[in-house]
Amino acid sequence: GQNIDQPTEMTATEGAIVQINCTYQTSGFNGLFWYQQHAGEAPTFLSYNVLDGLEEKGRFSSFLSRSKGYSYLLLKELQMKDSASYLCAVMDSNYQLIWGAGTKLIIKP
Amino acid sequence: IAGITQAPTSQILAAGRRMTLRCTQDMRHNAMYWYRQDLGLGLRLIHYSNTAGTTGKGEVPDGYSVSRANTDDFPLTLASAVPSQTSVYFCASSDSWTGSYNEQFFGPGTRLTVL
């Protein structure tokens, strides 16, 4: 079966750095997405990786290793507004997104 | 309209009733999707449409039906609601159904409770 694993919850301090990991086992791979979802709101797109390596976008970076079935989202200079759930999703061989359950990130002052 | 809209925002429904959740996008996206989101689970695909006039089944299609008569609208119908269909429903759209153009834009969601 297809499976996406991410930690359920993480806590970090304002101004610090946090890394949210995602491991996956899917039938085929056509890219990995990270989305942010604030409580009670819709998911919004953060990043897309299809090749190995690091993609940097401001305070957020996303890394992919296809051989290891592994990705991480790195958030720098954490702000209170970064408190949200972070969803990892993999596009399988049928171009359908398989979603992880999400990691709830709690930022403390 | 800006982006993707859903109606109603929330609904309480008696079991056995028929219900249609509405979804409209104004981005001229080709692909549209319906997901349900339940606590502790990832988003699960119910049905999708790669282009107007075509639809397909996702991971959890039983008890749901969709139509795609035009580019903008993608309604989801529950023929006879059951309590296990209590969930938050998200509609999404993307320019294409492949590659990076598959970045999906989500509507605000419909919170449905079936009693």
Tens-digit pLDDT string for chain B (115 aa): 579 999 999 999 999 999 999 999 999 999 999 999 999 888 999 999 999 999 999 999 999 999 999 999 999 999 999 999 999 999 999 998 876 778 999 999 999 999 9
Chain A: closest CA distance from residue B42 (Å): 4
Residue of B nearest to A9 (CA): B40
Q: How confident is the model at residue A40 (pLDDT cuts 50, 70, 90)?
A: very high
Closest partner residue to B109 among A42, A87, A91, by Cβ?
A42
Contacts of A103 (CB under 8 A, 6+ apart): A6, A7, A8, A9, A10, A20, A85, A86, A87, A88
Q: Which residue of B has its CA nearest to A31?
A: B99
Distance CA A107, CA B45 (A): 30
Residue B40 has a pLDDT of: 86
User: With an 8 Å Cβ cutoff, is B64 touching chain A?
Assistant: no
Task: Return the pLDDT at B59.
Answer: 92
Q: Can you tell me whether residue A32 is helix, strand or coil?
A: strand
CB contact under 8 A, B45 and A96: yes
Q: Which among B96, B92, B95 is positioned nearest to B106, based on CA atoms?
A: B92
B89 touches chain A (CB under 8 A): no
Q: Using pLDDT thresholds of 50, 70 and 90, give the confidence band for residue A1.
A: confident
